[in-house]
Structure 1
Amino acid sequence: MNLAVIGAGPAGLAAALAAADRGIRVRLVDSAAQPGGQFYRQPPLAFGARRPQELHHQWRTWQRLRDGLARHVEAGRVTHLAEHHVWFVERQLEPSGFIVHALLGPEQEEPATVRADAVLIATGGYEKVLPFPGWTLPGVVTAGGAQAMLKGGLVLPGRTAVVAGTGPLLMPVAVGLAAAGADVAALVESAGPKDFARHAATFAAHPAKLAEGASYAAALLRHRVPLLPRHTVVEAHGKDRIEAVTVAALDPAGRVEAGTERRIPCDTLAVGHGMLPHTDIAEALGCRIVGPGVAVDAEQRTDVPGVWAAGESTGIGGAALSLTEGHIAGRSAAARLRGREPDPRSWAAAAKSRTKARQFAAAVDAVYAPPAHWAELLYDDTLVCRCEEVPASAVREAVDELGATDARSVKLLTRAGMGWCQGRMCAAAVDGLTGCEATSARRPFARPVPLGVLARSGEDEPDLGPPG
């Protein structure tokens, strides 16, 4: 029996090791050249980084995962398929099983398939960025993008940076940029002390997380990074690239306080407003979605037989929660693939940790909510959908004058979400701007696929088969 694990971040690695430890053959399918995901992103070996651990915390955990993967690969229990970009997973009834369809290499041109008896989805999450005037200027990057450039490319996105938005990612990004030599002119966070005070009891139950936050706060002080809580970016300025940002304080209702605007010169703005789960593969398989994430039971099973999900795809909760969910999912999949009923007592400690981590994640999600009235800052000519160049005025017109009542109607009337990213960048903005309830996108494919690949799907794709 064999298991295909899609994604080699914390959840995928933990799941692959747990299953392989119990004798299951695993194909670890990942789009990156090296395992680790965004959290443990590594520079290419050719760069010869002398101290990559300086860009990470929880380095010992990464070493354990890395070494465990290497042992299983050497023993033939795990096959790591790097640079395999999964675009669809096909469920077969006769014979039962799954076919994982992928595109190979950095150019994503050559197709390949992987056959498996079961699938474990650990596809992680992606950043949510809400638009503001000037957000399309060169030099404006996502917070995760800035971190990826630093971790994966060992380069700074600029010399003078402002880090802004909301979410727990902002502090490590600001610290990482400052430690690498950038002048971080400000960390602009829309959450404030009162937001944290409302969840003080939950946070107090996680002293390790508090210590981690305190270490980042100390690093910000050490690097003299100004922290602006309860502030937001109003506009980015520049001609050929960003030259400055205007930030302002927020009132208790989440609106900009008049007279508090200040202009900060910079050549880089790293901005983010939280994360969203990657659910495309799960949705295409018919898995139930609850809220933004894939619904799972106590064993991390979806409602589709033979499909497990773990990590950020089930809801954003951080690396520790992803590791725990991956471990439980891998153990469950291993037992059931062998025809055995898993014994939940064998992972009781992990289940307890998962419950606490989910409670912490829920509190973090409540604290780091984007400003309630962010859409009021958009000019009519501010682009909302970058792929199709749809301005805010077109979206507003679709609702106010053309009668659109949901995101799909707005999409049909304006083309917002019809471009290359298929709404992954703009869906949250369109929902917020129109007041529509966020709904599942139900995209048929997890990434853009060349028509030629679709036309000859199943005919000449290399079949990597199950692990031998």
Structure 2
Amino acid sequence: MPEVASTKDHDDSANDGVVVVGGGPAGLAAATAARRAGARVVLVEAGDDVGGQYWRHLPPQRPARDEGQLHHGWSRFTEMRRSLLADEGCEVLTGASVWAVEARAPHLPGDAPVLRVVLAPIGGADAAQREHRLLRPGALVVATGAHDLTLPFPGWDLPGVVTGGAAQAFAKSERLAVGERVVVAGAGPFLLPVASSLLSTGATVLEVCEAAGPAQLARGWGSHPARLLAGPRVMAAKTAELAGYAAALLRERVPYRTATGVVAARGEGRLEEVVLARLAPDWSPVPGTERVVAADALAVSHGFTPRLEVALAAGCALREDGFVAVDDRGATSVPGVWAAGEVTGIGGADLAQVEGELAGLAAAGAVAHPGTHEASQRLSQQLSQQVSRLLDRRRTLEAFAGRLAAAHAPRAGWLAQVTDDTTVCRCEEVTAGRLRAVAAATASTADTPAGARSLRLTTRAGLGVCQGRICGHAVDAVLGRTSVGRGAGSGVGPVSHQRRPIAVPVRLGELAALPAPDHQTSDHQTADHQTADHQTSDHQTPDLTDSEEPRS
């Protein structure tokens, strides 16, 4: 029987400097910038190694000579990784997950609140001995990234249907393909590196299907071209990256089709064929255009959704589109908490790194103790110069990110493919018809916390092992709850399913063994958490299996 996890704590008067949650491009950049500014850093990464999905690679015991050829910015990654691992002022915790964040009362009037970050197991979920750590950040940087957003269709629960992120992760970390004959479908430029990764394993990519049509793509990428010209280096790099992916597809004669999507996946016991169709501008299937492609794997991704558990637990406000709201230096609505990378918006690894640097510098400045007035002025001047340079680069990259969002954002017509017999919640096997019938019978919708809770409890949708991480958006969308979260017209629901007091799987015995809380939470924070608990009480039972791999 596994041992109960041990618990390590620190003196209440101490803090852990800058704590960065997430070891992808944004988190690595934040940790590196904070260390260069002189702050002590703790970097927390859930995976076996830092790098996130973007720099996922073979394990150290299986090095590959061609690793750098499979990744953009590989030398930048290896330098950041090497410097942080060798730096005594930076502690890197891998295989560690933040499962709770507790905002505590300020020590002195006017001070930013001290955040108590409880770290879940260092070691596998079934490790014989696991360890819990209590970290008290002087400043917290949330860089938890995002994971695939998949819009349901009949047969998406068949073995052989995987997310684009899963297909890419398998190819990068194992040099294996998810199938021999693969269709790549969904929306966004991420489809291209997924196809390229599959080709590198020797798989046959039958075609790449982009849901957005030519008009949507032209409107998105063609708006305000002068802003793109303001950053010629950025555009040159992006163009070169795109050309590399396009060349890979051309060499293997892989068709790339726009306004095309998956309307069904079929097979006996596993995927055998994919039904594709032309899509109207609103992404609804055009009748009579269906065609069948024989395939043993389908990699599908319609963009990304942010991993918000840590940010929401810290009390961070969200924008209307469901991402964490930050200022130009990454500060959130909570004093002492910054956010960077795709948890604040999808913009690619380059933008994530710039945001990480900005957040890391700001967090380092918040915990700095330079001693003398002269030292304080020198530090302030150094940070100011770095920040000014980074802000200019961020503005250019944000222009690119804005076009990406406009060109590939989901359109509400995708719901037309979700027939009543389509499974929406795969964990609990809840169909769209069941959701719609219960909503109609109870005259309730998911537009209010009470209505959402009632529907979830009645249907069990979103209450399975993934706790709504995979199906939450789709459940909300099928029920018509699309007024917030992804924007009007997207047909993609909000993010209330990510509000949970326990962010990742932990054992009940470990919870029981933890020391009692010290009840230092302020009245304001207590009220906030009571409200959140009331709204999401159906998620308070801890999920005991792991969730989809994050993309950081």
Instruction: Tell whether the structures are fold-level matches, with TM greater than 0.5.
Output: yes
Aligned residue runs from structure 1 range 69-108, under 5 A: 69-72=84-87, 76-93=88-105, 97-104=114-121, 105-107=123-125
Is the Cα–Cα contact under 8 Å of residues 101 and 113 in structure 1 kept in the other structure? Answer: yes
Task: Provide closer, same or farther for how the CA distance between residues 459 and 108 of structure 1 changes in structure 2, counting only shifts above 3 A.
Answer: farther
Q: Give, as a single letter, the amino acid of the residue that structure 1 aligns with 2:195.
A: A
Alpha-carbon shift at residue 240 of structure 1 (Å): 1.7
C-alpha separation in 2, matches of 1:375 and 1:284: 31
Gapped runs of 5+ residues in structure 1? 461-468
For residues 251 and 294 of structure 2, the distance between their equivalents in structure 1, rounded to whole angstroms, comes to 21
Are the equivalent residues in 2 in contact too, given 1:300–1:310 (CA < 8 A)?
yes
Contact 1:300-1:309 within 8 A present in 2 as well: yes
Cα distance change on mapping 1:443 and 1:459 into 2, 3 Å: closer
Contact 1:281 1:445 in 2 (8 A): no
Say whether 1:191 aligns with 2:212: yes
**1:346 equivalenced with 2:386 (yes/no):** yes
Q: Secondary structure of the residue that 1:242 maps to in structure 2?
A: coil
After superposition, where does 1:244-259 map in structure 2 within 5 Å? 244-259=273-288
Residue 391 (structure 1) shift: 0.6
Letter in 1 for 2:339: A
SS of aligned partner of 2:465: coil
1:265 corresponds in structure 2 to 294
Q: Of residues 148, 153, 156 in structure 1, which corresponds to 2:174?
A: 153
Superposed counterparts of 1:295-314, under 5 Å: 295-314=325-344
Taking the aligned partners of 2:60 and 2:116, their CA distance within structure 1 comes to 32
Q: Within 5 A, what are the aligned runs for 1:15-34?
A: 15-34=30-49
Q: CA RMSD in A?
A: 2.0
Alignment of 1:201-240 (within 5 A): 201-202=223-224, 204-205=228-229, 206-240=235-269
Q: Distance in 2 between matches of 1:249 and 1:440?
A: 30
Q: 2:476 aligns with which of 431, 450, 462?
A: 431
Residue 283 of structure 1, CA deviation: 0.8
The answer for the alignment partner of 1:465 in structure 2 is none
Question: Residue 382 of structure 1 corresponds to which residue in structure 2?
Answer: 422
Q: How much does 1:65 deviate?
A: 1.9
Question: Which residue in 2 is equivalent to 1:200?
Answer: 222
**1:185 match: secondary structure:** strand
Contact 1:161 1:182 in 2 (8 A): yes
Query: Counterparts of 2:409 and 2:276 in 1: how far apart (Å)?
Result: 18
Q: Say whether the 8 Å CA contact 2:213–2:281 is kept in structure 1.
A: no
C-alpha distance in structure 2 between counterparts of 1:32 and 1:242, whole Å:
29
Report the alpha carbon displacement of residue 94 of structure 1 after superposing the two structures with TM.
6.1
Which runs of no fewer than 5 residues in structure 2 stay unpaired? 1-14, 108-112, 230-234, 370-375, 483-492, 518-552
Question: Is 1:326 paired with 2:356?
Answer: yes
CA contact (8 A) 1:111 1:453 kept: no
Which residue in 2 is equivalent to 1:412? 457
Question: Quick one: distance in 1 between partners of 2:106 and 2:393?
Answer: 39
Structure 1 residues 456, 212: closer, same or farther in 2, change over 3 A? Answer: same
SS across alignment from 2:140: strand
Q: State which of 117, 120, 137 in structure 1 corresponds to 2:158.
A: 137
The residue type equivalent to 1:77 in the other structure is G
How far is the alpha carbon of 1:147 from its aligned partner?
Answer: 0.3
After superposition, give the CA deviation of every residue in 1:345-399 in whole Å (9 maximum; x if it has no partner): 4311211111222222121111112343222212322110011111111111133
Q: Distance in 1 between matches of 2:141 and 2:42?
A: 10
Q: 2: CA distance between counterparts of 1:312 and 1:44? A: 25
Question: Aligned ranges for residues 7-46 of structure 1 at < 5 Å?
Answer: 7-46=22-61
Where does residue 397 of structure 2 map in the other structure? Answer: 357
Q: 1:133, 1:201 → 2: CA distance?
A: 35
- Per-residue CA distance 1:184-205 (angstroms, 9 max, x = gap): 0111111133222213145653
Q: Which residue of 2 aligns with 1:455?
A: 512
Shift of 1:47: 2.2
Q: Please, which moves more after superposition, 412-421 or 279-288? A: 412-421
Q: Match of 2:502?
A: 445
Identity %: 42
CA deviation string 1:7-66 (max 9, x = no partner): 111111001111111221111111111110110112112223232223212222223322
| Comparing 45-54 and 175-184, the one that deviates more | 45-54
1:58-69 correspondence to structure 2 within 5 Å: 58-69=73-84
Matched residues in 1 for 2:210 and 2:411: separation? 10
Report the Cα distance in structure 2 between the residues aligned to 1:281 and 1:211, rounded to whole angstroms. Answer: 35
TM-score by length of 2: 0.79
Q: Secondary structure at the match of 1:5?
A: strand
For 1:168-188, what per-residue CA distance to the aligned partner results, in whole angstroms no more than 9, with x for missing partners?
Answer: 210110111112210001111
Matched AA of 2:190: L
How far off is 1:263 after superposition? 0.7
Identify the residue that residue 463 of structure 1 maps to in structure 2: none
- For the residue of structure 1 that corresponds to 2:184, the secondary structure is strand
C-alpha distance in structure 2 between counterparts of 1:52 and 1:262, whole Å: 38
Q: 1:417-455: per-residue Cα shift (whole Å, max 9, x none)?
A: 111222111111112212212334222222132222222
What are the superposed Cα offsets for residues 227-265 of structure 1, whole Å, 9 maximum, x if unpaired? 121101011111121011010111234221222111111
Q: C-alpha distance in 1, partners of 2:35/2:396?
A: 27
Q: What code does the residue aligned with 1:107 have?
A: A
Is 1:236–1:244's contact at 8 Å kept on the other side of the alignment?
Answer: yes
CA distance 1:214–1:200, shift in 2 (3 Å): farther
Stretch deviating more after TM superposition (249-258 or 322-331): 249-258
2:413 equivalent to 1:369: no
**In 2 relative to 1, CA 108–122 (structure 1 residues): closer, same or farther, beyond 3 Å?**
farther
Provide the C-alpha distance between the structure 2 equivalents of 1:52 and 1:221, rounded to a whole number of angstroms.
22
